[in-house]
Structure 1
């Protein structure tokens, strides 16, 4: 049983990290910037089915964020994302697991965790690399952490909600029909 759990953790971590890095290559700053659509976050629905998703998603986020430091050259500032971004993923996955009997509510966990935590440090990270104007405008939010936080709260929250409910929920419904998650999905009432 323990080896099965560890295998699930490892596979989930690898898939999350790979999906995040692929998104970075093809979507650029949409996976990390002030407006985020981190497609790999749809994998947070795995926490509806297995507690192994909690450490798996967290570890995958750590790996992806460390790799982003290497790719983007953010240096030690990138450690903010490694620590606090991974904390947001952990909190969201934990909430999802705890609320799994109510899938639509459970999927709000990653939305809330990312919307509240990521914008708190993202302005520091982005300013440190010389970037922070509202995208598609020339409005600079330098030296205004509160406005940057509020902007990030909305954009990160909306982006995460789109990912969780437009991509994640259908993914969860599809996974519920597979033999791998059939017992868990019956318990959640997602087997139809």
Structure 2
């Protein structure tokens, strides 16, 4: 039983680290008013394990810190990912194709306000909602669902924090 907490923390840390690496690896696409943050495909992982929720949140904070984001972006951009992860987890018993919707919506709604008010991007907020939303559809809706499909076969091997020891 004591191993379950260690497994949870390990899963969260690995997911967070992968999020950071993917964000920084694709940095030119990960930041800005038109962005495709491929690391957001990992927001599908709460479908498999609750450990993904803190992992994604902390990973987003670290990626934004290393990416040179301003404090408002570090806070609210990470909260957008957290909200998406929590609601993806809550939808896990529903149709699996609904899993990418929460991160798409939360980022498409929150990030444009960060861009406009935090960075002074002088584009209409609805237009930025569209551009950020399209990037999220690509990363979460397309890449995320491909990842989810691939992981469905191995979920009991990879994600052990859900199982009893």
Note whether the superposition's TM-score is higher than 0.5. yes
Indicate if the aligned counterparts of 1:17 and 1:60 stay in contact, CA closer than 8 A. Answer: yes
Aligned to 1:12: 15
4+ aligned runs moved over 6 Å, structure 1: none
Rounded Cα–Cα distance in structure 1 between residues aligned with 2:54 and 2:145: 20
SS of 1:90's equivalent in the other structure is: helix
Q: What number of residue pairs does the alignment pair up?
A: 156
TM-score, length-scaled by structure 1: 0.77
Rounded Cα–Cα distance in structure 2 between residues aligned with 1:62 and 1:110: 16
Aligned to 1:172: 148
Q: CA RMSD in A?
A: 1.8
Give the alignment partner of residue 148 of structure 1, picking from 106, 124, 129: 124
Distance apart, 1:181 and its partner CA: 4.5
Distance apart, 1:86 and its partner CA: 0.3
Indicate if the aligned counterparts of 1:175 and 1:181 stay in contact, CA closer than 8 A. Answer: no
After TM superposition, the structure 1 stretch with the greater mean CA deviation from structure 2, 4-13 or 97-106, is 97-106
Aligned to 1:98: 90
Unaligned runs of 5+ residues in structure 1 are 133-140, 142-146, 185-192
Residue 158 of structure 2 corresponds to residue 159 of structure 1: no
TM-score, length-scaled by structure 2: 0.88
Indicate if the aligned counterparts of 1:42 and 1:167 stay in contact, CA closer than 8 A. Answer: yes
Rounded Cα–Cα distance in structure 2 between residues aligned with 1:149 and 1:121: 10
For 1:60-75, what aligned pairs fall within 5 Å after superposition?
Answer: 60-69=59-68
Indicate if the aligned counterparts of 2:11 and 2:159 stay in contact, CA closer than 8 A. Answer: no
Unaligned runs of 5+ residues in structure 2 are none
Residue 57 of structure 2 corresponds to residue 80 of structure 1: no
**Greater relative contact order structure (CA < 8 Å, 6+ sep):** 2
Give the alignment partner of residue 115 of structure 2, picking from 116, 122, 126: 122
Distance 1:120 1:35, change over 3 A: same
Deviation by residue 1:145-165 (Cα, 9 ceiling, x = unmatched): xx5211111111111011112
Rounded Cα–Cα distance in structure 1 between residues aligned with 2:124 and 2:104: 18
